[in-house]
Amino acid sequence: MLKNYFKIALRNLWKNRTFTALNIVGLTAAFGVAFLLSMYAIFDLSYDRFHENTGSIFSVYANEQTPEGAESDEANPIPFAEALRNEVPGVEHIAKYVTGGVLITYKDKTLGMSSALTDPEFFQIFTFPVLEGDENNLIADKNSIALTRKAATIIFGEEPALGKTVTVQRGGMEVPVTVTAILKDIPETSDFNFSALFNFKSLPDAFYADNLDDWSAHNHSVYLKLADGVTPRQFERSTRTFSELHYADNISSAKRDGAQPNAEGNYRQIKLLPVEDQSFASIKNGVITVSKTLQYIVLGIAFLILFIASVNFINMSIAKSAQRLREIGMRKTLGAGKSQLFFQLWGESGLVFLIAVVLGSLLAVGLLKPFQTLFDTKASFGSILSLPILTAVFLVIGLITLVAGGYPSLLMSKLGTLQALKGKMQNTGKNRLRDVLMVLQFSITILLIAGTLVLWQQLEFLRHKDLGFNKEQVIAFPLNTKQDPDNIIQLLRNELSKSPEILGLTAADDNLGLGRDGRASATVLGFDFKNRQVSTNMLFVDYDYAKTLDIPILQGRSFDRSFPGDSLSVVINEAMVKELGEQDALNVQFYLDDSVKYSVIGVVKDYNFDALDMAIEPITYFMDGGSPMHYVYVKVVPQNLTDSYETVKEAWSRIEPSTLFMGSFLDENIDRTLTKERMMTTMISSGSLLAIVLSCIGLFAISLLVVTQRRKEIGIRKVVGASVSTITILLTKDFLKLVALSFFIATPIAWYFSSQWLQNYVYRINLTLWVFLGAGGIALVIALATIGVRTIQAAMQNPVDSLKTE
Amino acid sequence: MLLELKNIYKWVDQGGKRIFLLKDLSFKVEEGEFISIMGPSGSGKSTLLNVIGMLDDFQEGAYTFLDEQVHSMKDKNRSKLYKEYIGFVFQAYHLIDELTVYENIETPLLYKNVKSAERKALVADMLDRFNIVGKKDLFPSQLSGGQQQLVGVARALIAKPKLLLADEPTGNLNSAQSEEIMKLFKELNNEGVTIIQASHSESNAAYGSRIVKLLDGMVDNS
């Protein structure tokens, strides 16, 4: 029986090769892409969920009220953790944690490794299994080091590592430490990525020992595990007196500056961030916010694509079923039961899906490498190979086949025997279900196209936005050198001043955008000004900074070599003028460290030195001559940018041959900060591209079937005098109506979501109806092109041929 | 007695008017009979055969098949009864296009859950008997009309039915092919299979042991 079903299924699929091929191609593409996308999303969503205590592990931060609103403070003072454990009930375990880098020497080999320093209790909170070593005595003191298996292999090769002594560099001294534990390698899905782990006390005195009772030096993260039965909300509420006691100074200065308390009336609220949300947390408007939107969008696109492909399958199966009625009827007369017929037909759909799933997996395997590179992810099949996820995948696939294959099967197996034998189905010409499904399909397509257009516009807008400085002509590069940086800058200046294509050179301690070294930092300074706390970004610059970057000076002057007193002068931007609240900016003077007086000598126009999803903040340039410069900026002539780049690179290689030149133009740096946007655009646009292709496959198949079904009608109409164009219009009209309806459904949804998303950006495009009309237009044109060819062909046929078939 | 129809009414409502397909029809069939039902188009021949074959319902009357009350039977038992005792031959053959000759003949056995070895033997016998062994791997489209109908008859007989219903079995065939099929029917009837055929042709009807004439859904006794 099964063999018979299988045989007839294969023969049937072969007989309808066009449709089988369309279905398999569509479903394969859909499954392949859905696998990749869900892998990506699930991989991201599974970050730090492998700890046994997941659900009760939190990192501790605080929301401070400032005059500008709430601001999150992720760093805590040294006495904080112990005090919290003793004074607030509900802490089961708590550990301080800080990351860094370490130079480890074994025999004659020195290696740089990522490291973390924490309290031994760390292991009671997190699940980092110990492969070798005494679990109760892991990083008990300053002389212990715990290594991951991978790190141990790098250092010791095949030698047993446990108990060996290595030396590490600590405060300029070589300190011997003993390997007390080998840890299992940290899963890819973890925000923790240390290779070596030390006791927190191994930190330099200036960081740890000197601050044992200091509540003002905030310098590390704190993780805790809540006791069973304590909810994070409860715990956060019960920290109120704790905050009032230990942060009295902060609270009183916040009150003095006019900060408003939060909804509960607190000026400082301790908050808990679940460890599994850690990788989704970012600071938005000063406050830590967790956003998994990208992952859910990606997962959503995967499902939408599967949905579109399944709709194709359902529609084609229903449409094709008319041709199988005779077989069904015959089987019924031969004694087949309803359930037997149902399983036969469902099995056939199952077979198609099985083939598609297998081919789709192969496709996903084949595309995995480029996918990983394109989206910068380590997601692989491994990340979805867990029992619950696999079960879910099989359930979903089972459900889709049940709906996609089962529905037409049910329709047919329920049909009366005689009706079926006569090959008649109650076909009123209108197929409501098919229409609904097609409208849904096209709505999704239009939604995705509109999303792509909006994202792409926003991305282009950000890329080409005038940021207030010259990003096209300026090359920035890090001063990676063991020599004296100031000396190198001077040598570069001398070397490059000879070249006509170099227009200027300056330096600063920070880059603009994201350079090829991938480093980004910001230094924020807060000080009292006229009995008010003000805060500003600070940047140490060299001479000619504003001039080299073409940042206009609005008032006063920039730093000048002819003014020897400039080491105590600062240049500020317009936002800082506002922050200070002074009318005459050039007369402003302020004190830092209670004693050193700085005066403002100039005001520069506001420019976007920060990420593009942030408004322009206050910034203050210092030039004390002592602070090390980390980045050099060179302005070149606008012609022959590549040649100029080579000139700069050669100059660097002559002066500092031992390190690589990592320069890039500032516009490239800005582009690099838009990775997330670009990734989203790529994902959504590839998703919508696939959605378009799949919808078209479906539309094409349906139009093919409709044309066949209406062949006789077309013939008769032609015989009585219809022209090719009226017949084409007759045949396409119905489909175009559906596309138009989809447009009206999709547009408001697309509008809502894109305007929501744009709220994330301070600088954003204005949504116009044109984007959505464009999306609808694209869908319409493609739909027209898809059905047009076949329809016109049918309309042009000689009516004698079509009438003969009766 | 094999089956009996008593005062059967079957109608459809069309545009507010009731059109009778079968009207107060009573009909008795003994085992071993070979009945030819004749009558003009629309007289109800096919409907009658479908009712007897339990493919179609009727609104009023009683139908007894082998002492069982078909009209009051559940669907499941009815289909069991008919799987067991009734074979069908159609004017348009109704072979399954995707199956070979062999598989077409085999299909009823599959639905009766006959074991594989037994199936093979039964199908082989049938192919042998109808002289179509050489064609067993061909598909219906590769056969002539007469050959297709031969396969149709073979399929109807494979499950060893007591009753063979044939609706215009020779309607699509030429005279030589028709005669062949009719001779086969006669032979089968001699072996004990009860046959009811609907036919337009007098010569075909003559093969039967009894002719029933239908007119407007009623037995025409004139």
Residue A806 in this model has a pLDDT that exceeds 50: no
Q: Which residue of B has its CA nearest to A334?
A: B108
**Number of CB atoms found within 10 A of residue A391's CB:** 10
Residue A327: list chain B partners with CB under 8 A. 96-98
Q: Which residue has the tokens 């699940």?
A: A127
- Please give the biggest Cα pair distance in chain B: 56
- Percent of chain B surpassing pLDDT 90: 27
- Residue in A518, A495, A513, A515 with CA at minimum distance from that of residue A505: A495
**Number of CB atoms found within 10 A of residue A491's CB:** 16
pLDDT in tens, A440-499: 988 998 998 898 899 889 888 888 888 888 988 999 988 877 677 788 888 888 888 888
Q: Does A759 touch chain B (CB under 8 A)?
A: no
Contact A292, A274 (CB under 8 A): no
Dihedrals phi, psi of A734, to nearest 5 degrees:
-60, -40
- Which of A387 and A607 is assigned the larger pLDDT? A607
Answer whether B96 sits within 8 Å of A8, measured CB to CB. Answer: yes
pLDDT in tens, A571-605: 999 999 988 888 888 888 888 877 788 889 999 99
Per-residue tokens: A583: 């009318």
Q: Give residue A735's pLDDT.
A: 84
Q: Give residue A426's pLDDT.
A: 53
Residue B94: list chain A partners with CB under 8 A. 326, 329-330, 333, 421
Q: Give residue A522's pLDDT.
A: 72
**R_g over Cα of chain B:** 18
Rounded to an integer, the average pLDDT of B90-119 is 86
Q: For A280-287, which contacts have Cβ atoms below 8 Å and span 24 or more sequence positions?
A: A280/A47, A283/A72, A284/A760, A285/A69, A286/A66, A286/A68, A286/A69, A286/A70, A286/A71, A286/A72, A287/A63, A287/A69, A287/A70, A287/A71, A287/A72
Residue A425 in this model has a pLDDT that exceeds 60: no
Residue B112: list chain A partners with CB under 8 A. 335
pLDDT in tens, B12-62: 888 888 888 888 888 899 999 999 999 888 888 888 988 898 888 888 999
Residue A416 in this model has a pLDDT that exceeds 90: no
**R_g over Cα of chain A:** 34
Q: Does A343 touch chain B (CB under 8 A)?
A: no
Confidence of residue A428 (pLDDT cuts 50, 70, 90): very low
Rounded to an integer, the average pLDDT of B141-152 is 90
- Which of A199 and B16 is assigned the larger pLDDT? A199
User: Is the ipTM, as predicted for this complex, more than 0.85?
Assistant: no
Answer whether A330 sits within 8 Å of B94, measured CB to CB. Answer: yes
Per-residue tokens: A294: 């990208």
pLDDT in tens, A639-651: 888 889 998 998 8
Tell me the CB-side half-sphere exposure of residue B166, using CA atoms within 13 A: 36
Q: Which residue of A has its CA nearest to B158?
A: A334
- Chain A / chain B CB contacts < 8 angstroms: 54
pLDDT in tens, B164-217: 999 888 888 888 888 888 998 999 999 999 999 998 888 888 888 899 998 888
Shortest Cα distance, chain A CAs vs residue B1, angstroms: 24
Taking all residues of chain A, what is their mean pLDDT, rounded to a whole number? Answer: 85
Taking all residues of chain B, what is their mean pLDDT, rounded to a whole number? Answer: 88
Answer whether B98 sits within 8 Å of A1, measured CB to CB. Answer: no
Residue A803 in this model has a pLDDT that exceeds 70: no
Answer whether B103 sits within 8 Å of A335, measured CB to CB. Answer: no
Q: Does A327 touch chain B (CB under 8 A)?
A: yes
Interface test with B, best of A3, A16, A330 (most B CBs within 10 A): A330
Confidence of residue A125 (pLDDT cuts 50, 70, 90): very high
Residues contacting A575, CB < 8 A, separation 6+: A606, A616, A617, A618, A619
Residue A12: list chain B partners with CB under 8 A. 98
Q: Give residue A605's pLDDT.
A: 92
Angstrom distance (rounded) from CA B183 to CA B207 = 8
- Strands (DSSP E) contained in B15-147 are 17-29, 34-38, 60-65, 68-69, 86-89
Angstrom distance (rounded) from CA A117 to CA A199 = 5
Q: Give residue A586's pLDDT.
A: 87
Return the domain boundaries, chain B: 3-219
Q: Which residue of A has its CA nearest to B50?
A: A418
Q: Does A12 touch chain B (CB under 8 A)?
A: yes
pLDDT in tens, A42-82: 888 888 888 999 889 999 999 988 877 888 888 899 999 99
Q: Give residue A592's pLDDT.
A: 81
Q: Give residue A480's pLDDT.
A: 74
Interface test with A, best of B12, B49, B52, B55 (most A CBs within 10 A): B55
Rounded to an integer, the average pLDDT of A211-230 is 89
Per-residue tokens: B175: 């005279």
Shortest Cα distance, chain B CAs vs residue A429, angstroms: 21
Q: Does B12 touch chain A (CB under 8 A)?
A: no
DSSP one-letter code for A208: T
**Number of CB atoms found within 10 A of residue B97's CB:** 18
- Residue in A348, A534, A316, A324 with CA at minimum distance from that of residue A425: A324
Residue A547 in this model has a pLDDT that exceeds 70: yes
Q: Which residue of B has its CA nearest to A323?
A: B97
Q: Does A337 touch chain B (CB under 8 A)?
A: yes
3-state SS string for A37-82: HHHHHHHHHCCCCCCCCCCCEEEEEEEEEECCEEEEECCEECCHHH
Residues contacting A133, CB < 8 A, separation 6+: A146, A162, A179, A180, A181, A182
Answer whether A336 sits within 8 Å of B88, measured CB to CB. Answer: no
Angstrom distance (rounded) from CA A472 to CA A636 = 9
Answer whether A334 sits within 8 Å of B98, measured CB to CB. Answer: no
pLDDT in tens, A756-768: 888 878 888 888 8
Rounded to an integer, the average pLDDT of A610-627 is 81
Backbone CA torsion sign across A599, A602, A606, A609 = negative
- Strands (DSSP E) contained in A416-479 are 474-478
- Percent of chain B surpassing pLDDT 70: 100
Confidence of residue A427 (pLDDT cuts 50, 70, 90): low
| Class (C level, CATH) for B3-219 | alpha beta
